[in-house]
Amino acid sequence: MRNRSNSMRTIMRNVSILLPIAVLISCSGPTIPAVEEDHPHEQGAEHGPEVVLTAEQVEVIGLVTGKLEQRGLKTALKANGRLALPPGQNAQVSVLIGGIVRSVQVEEGQHVAKGEVLAILENLEFLQLQQDYLESAANLHVLDADLERQQDLQTDRINATKTLERAQADLSGARARQATLAAKLRIFGTDPARLSPETISSTFALRAPIAGNLKRINVNLGQFAEPNKPLFEVVDNRGLHIDLSVFEQDIARVRIGQQVAFGHAGEPVGQHTATVFAVNKAFENDQQAVLVHARLDDNDEELLPGMYIEALIMTDSTQAWSLPSDAVVNNGDDHFIFVEGEPNTFQQVAVRTGASELGYTEVKPLTTVTPDARIVIKGAYYLLSELTKGSGEHNH
């Protein structure tokens, strides 16, 4: 009888131990399991240190909580480079023959249309070119009439065939000379069909070959403009793109069509976006890197050729639990988030970080966290400083 009574007491004691465990299990919702980590001391504790704030402190620091989100994050490859223009949208304007600059009709920074007059130059060779063309045109009429006469005589068998052939050759040569002179006139912007003795001029206009902005003017009034020396530079920033240097160990991850987030000095990296459209097939001469070209998705006027930029090339995509990047704080090499337990009580939880994209970071808690847990997404650094301050005072 005594043995039976002892057995019953043992059973009841075991039931009393197991019952709360069963209740805890039945009341628990889904959780985000802790990741495996090579730090045994982090696996045993469910909760890290905690910070308790007053309601007034929460309001003053602007503390905000949120929840873990499943987001499609892309792993990003860091790269640096510069904004550049294709050759067809960066024009150096020069003259084929020298001349005196009689007027400059534009200013640096000004937008010009294609064909707009940049400067007026004077040159006696241009004057001679017009004279040669008009004389050639007059001679052409004479030779044309002579050929008709020789053809009539040939029909009547009065002249020799050789004479007719000579007239044909003279006319062909004259036509070739006139065509050459006409082409030269067009280079100077003169329409040969409108040229006459009354319209001959010693001046010609230098025009913009493309539409764009005047980046540089290298000429002054009265100066002699030398042949083939750049006088103006016109750039069309609508074709702006990025030249990024990617090292050889990373180039296999880059593909045409990938998105690029970038920013120039003083800007966050995600301020602008671009799309990869070409990858060079050879290394740069001075480094083991390959140029990757990305076309801008917008035409922001503040972006200029030659600007140094920092970029993230979005490579592989993965679904992951993530938080705003400001929710993740670091102390040395360790990363943490803060989870709200009791009201205004925040527990530090160690995490491992993964991919980051446009303000969000993948987090893998080292202890179990439920998806509906309230996590500090603004004010986490304040909580970390409170813990660090408390730890320092304790050590002191």
Extents of the domains making up the chain: 30-72+319-395, 76-88+238-317, 94-235
Judge contact between 250 and 293, C-beta under 8 A: no
Lowest mean pLDDT among 104-118, 226-240, 243-257, 347-361: 347-361
pLDDT in tens, 164-188: 677 778 778 888 888 999 999 998 8
CA distance 304 to 83: 7
| Amino acid (one-letter) located at 354 | G
d(CA 372, CA 19): 26
Same fold: 76-88+238-317 with 94-235: no
Nearest-angstrom CA–CA distance, 103 and 92: 19
For helices 124-155 and 161-187, give the axis angle rounded to 10 degrees: 150
For 125, the 3-state DSSP assignment is helix
Mean of the per-residue pLDDT values of the chain: 82
| pLDDT > 90? residue 235 | yes
Give the Cα separation of 299 and 212 in Å (integer). 13
User: From residue 124, how far is each of 44, 50, 97, 228, 343 by CA, in Å?
Assistant: 94, 89, 10, 18, 91
Percent of all residues in the chain with a pLDDT value above 70, rounded to a whole number? 83
Residues whose CB falls within 8 Å of the CB of residue 387, separated by 6 or more in sequence, listed in order: 49, 51, 348
Asked if pLDDT for residue 7 goes beyond 50, the answer is: no
pLDDT mean over 213-229: 92
- Predicted pLDDT at 74: 75
pLDDT value of residue 250: 87
Q: Residue 34 — very low, low, confident or very high, per pLDDT cuts 50/70/90?
A: low
Tokens at 268, concatenated:
């966050």
- Residues of the chain above pLDDT 90, percent: 45
pLDDT at 46 over 60: no
Higher pLDDT: 355 or 81? It is 81
Burial group, residue 250, by CB count within 10 angstroms (0-12, 13-18, 19+): middle
Give me the pLDDT at residue 154, please.
Answer: 65
Q: What is the CATH number of domain 76-88+238-317?
A: 2.40.30.170
| Whole-angstrom distance, CA of residue 237 vs CA of residue 303 | 8
pLDDT at 194 over 80: yes
Q: Is the pTM of this model over 0.75?
A: no
Residues 121-159 have pLDDT tens digits of 999 899 999 999 998 888 888 877 777 777 767 665 656
Contacts of 372 (CB under 8 A, 6+ apart): 29, 67
The residue-averaged pLDDT of 330-334 equals 88
Residue 322, burial from CB neighbour count under 10 angstroms (0-12, 13-18, 19+): buried
Look up tokens 């006027």; give the residue: 301
Q: How confident is the model at residue 13 (pLDDT cuts 50, 70, 90)?
A: very low
Q: What pLDDT is recorded for position 18? A: 32
**Distance from chain centroid for Cα 78:** 13
pLDDT of 261 above 80? yes
The torsion angles phi and psi of 16, rounded to 5 degrees, stand at -65, -30
Nearest Cα to Cα of residue 203 among 132, 125, 131:
125
Sign of torsion over alpha carbons 190, 192, 193, 194: positive
SS3 letters across 191-248: CHHHCCCCCCCCEEEEECCCCEEEEEECCCCCCEECCCCCCEEEECHHHCEEEEEEEC
Tell me the average pLDDT across 358-384: 90
- Architecture of the CATH domain 94-235: Beta Barrel (2.40)
Of residues 63, 157, 115, 151, the one with CA closest to residue 374: 63
**389 pLDDT tier (thresholds 50, 70, 90):** confident
CATH numeric code, 30-72+319-395: 2.40.420.20
Q: Annotate 144-195 with three-state secondary structure.
A: HHHHHHHHHHHHCCCCCHHHHHHHHHHHHHHHHHHHHHHHHHHHCCCCHHHC
